[in-house]
Structure 1
Amino acid sequence: MSQIEIKSQEEIALMREAGRIVSEILDELEKAVAPGVTTWDLDALAEKLIYKKGARPAFKGYRGFPACLCASVNHEVVHGIPSKRRKLQEGDLMKLDFGVVYRGFFGDAARTVPVGKVSREAQALLDATRESLHKAIQAMVPGNRIGDIGHAVQSYVEARGFSVVRDFTGHGIGRHLHEKPEVPNYGQRGSGMKLRPGMVLAVEPMVNQGTYEVELLDDDWTAVTLDNKLSAHFEHTVLITEGGPEVLTRRRAG
């Protein structure tokens, strides 16, 4: 995409539907997370639910990605490939990153789910990452800039002793999964492009317990923390309106 798309009311209506489907399926996936479940099981459930709801997978086949769900565990930051061999264990942090296409429009969201009872440190990381997403969304008002979003995440996370991943960013979203602009999870207040009503952005803090540095595994997809410490990830698709941010992938259950 060469320019920033301002969505029409008709396009926004379809993106609301795409966002609703993403959220409802994530609710079901979250309920299914438990010790003994494989990441393959979760992907199979996601695929079944996608077609049941009249949508298509956003990730499967995207640049060759082989699954509907990015399933990343513990020190895996993002883009984990589901596997029959990867069985969840008590205390794991399970990252569910998921998207659909509905009538030509994309929705994209992610949640980090504790598997059973997790350590106090793991829970602190999860809570800080989730809250940093809320802080980012609060900054998504007309007249603010892209840098305000990143600054909201970075300042909150770093004050709690965690680090923000630099190698992956949020992004515009609409008829394509990844559109302009990039939305880094770090930055300076008042810098970057001005936010305008009708812009739709996928905002997704990825936060590490230790260093922000990551490396790619041999599968050419799974990114892991360089120091093997834990990582957490939350994401929403957000519409900027005159009245403030509208979260299109907001949680439906609980």
Structure 2
Amino acid sequence: MDSIERNQTCWCGSGLKYKKCHAEFDGKLRSFKAKGITVPPRSIIKTPEQIQFIRESGKVNTAILDHVSRHITAGMTTEDINTLVYNKTVELGGRPAQLHFEGFPKSVCTSINNQVCHGIPSADVVLEDGDIINVDVSTQYNGYYSDSSRMFTIGEVKEEHRRLVETAKECMEMGLQQVEPWQRIGNVGAAINEHARKNGYSVVIEAGGHGIGLEFHEEPWVGYVTRRDTGMLMVPGMIFTVEPMINMGSRNVFTDENDGWTIYTSDGKPSAQWETMVLVTETGHEVLAW
């Protein structure tokens, strides 16, 4: 952590003197670091101005998912969903963050039934009565990034599949409850894993959440099979996603060798995921995209 004189302008961009702004905050970080606890680098602690821009991006991302919610139905293709997302994003002045990210070919991820995540939209994949699907939207708006996803049940869904979807949402919500300043990020995954296992489900280990805002993917990586009081310290100004993938059967997964993106459950049983983007505040947390 770079040293700064107390009367110099604070590193956060507030325009205040360091002693009136982040001096106490940095001292607290140093005390945790001295105890061997991983603390976040300044690069992922957002300034008030950055937070406001990211908040606006999150509003756009949420509006896009609301748009999908109003139109998704049996008989449409996942490519239709891709078109909905692309057109609404552009209409609202944004850009789909997923489009061409590391070679991803579409504007949204659509993951059906036993697809865990990163499903690629296709004109050949038609939503059918009884399907469950995750629609994962990511947006770049005025240069700032946001990311969230929702599960949708299509028509008459089996009760056991509906229960999976509902429990996955509960897992995400329980993870959110653990987002508090000056606590450890491992608490998030521990709460999620405990609730999933209590309900007879498993949690995917290989995929997790991530920091976001100035870039699409930033530190920290957020795992969901963790122990309490482990991992990076959560501090005000950090923004990351909470997005556990909950499997009905085994936690084991594999990536489609043909498209290089889509992750499936190894046993063919369904998986469900909800994702939200959260800001750590002085008193708790704020959901920025839902």
State whether TM-score is above 0.5.
yes
Q: When the two structures are superposed, what TM-score results if normalisation uses the length of structure 2?
A: 0.84
| Aligned match of 1:121 | 160
Give structure 1 stretches of 5+ with no counterpart. Answer: none
| Post-superposition offset of 1:30 | 1.8
Summarize deviations over 1:29-66 as a string: whole Å, max 9, x none: 12222110100000001000001001111100000001
| Aligned match of 2:230 | 191
The percent of aligned pairs where both chains have the same amino acid is 38
| Aligned match of 1:229 | 269
Which amino acid is 1:153 matched to? I
Which of 172, 175, 181 is residue 133 of structure 1 equivalent to?
172
Summarize deviations over 1:156-177 as a string: whole Å, max 9, x none: 1110000000110101101111
Which amino acid is 1:230 matched to? P
Which of 220, 229, 245 is residue 181 of structure 1 equivalent to?
220
Is 1:75 matched with 2:75? no
Higher relative contact order (CA 8 A, sep 6+): 1
Find the aligned partners of 2:60 and 2:53 in 1 and give their Cα distance.
Answer: 11
CA contact (8 A) 1:3 1:180 kept: no
SS in 1 for 2:128: coil
Q: When the two structures are superposed, what TM-score results if normalisation uses the length of structure 1?
A: 0.96
SS in 2 for 1:152: helix
Find the aligned partners of 2:122 and 2:226 in 1 and give their Cα distance.
Answer: 35
| Aligned match of 1:34 | 73
| Post-superposition offset of 1:17 | 0.7
Deviates more, 1:25-34 or 1:202-211: 25-34
Query: Number of paired residues?
Result: 250
Runs (4+) of structure 1 exceeding 2 A deviation are: 1-4
Is 1:58 matched with 2:97? yes
| Aligned match of 1:109 | 148
SS in 1 for 2:105: coil
| Post-superposition offset of 1:104 | 1.2
Summarize deviations over 1:101-134 as a string: whole Å, max 9, x none: 0111100001111011211100110011001111
Find the aligned partners of 2:72 and 2:201 in 1 and give their Cα distance.
Answer: 25
Which amino acid is 1:206 matched to? M
| Post-superposition offset of 1:197 | 0.3
SS in 2 for 1:150: helix
SS in 2 for 1:142: coil
Is 1:219 matched with 2:259? yes
Is 1:238 matched with 2:278? yes
Find the aligned partners of 2:288 and 2:273 in 1 and give their Cα distance.
Answer: 18
SS in 2 for 1:247: strand
| Aligned match of 1:6 | 45
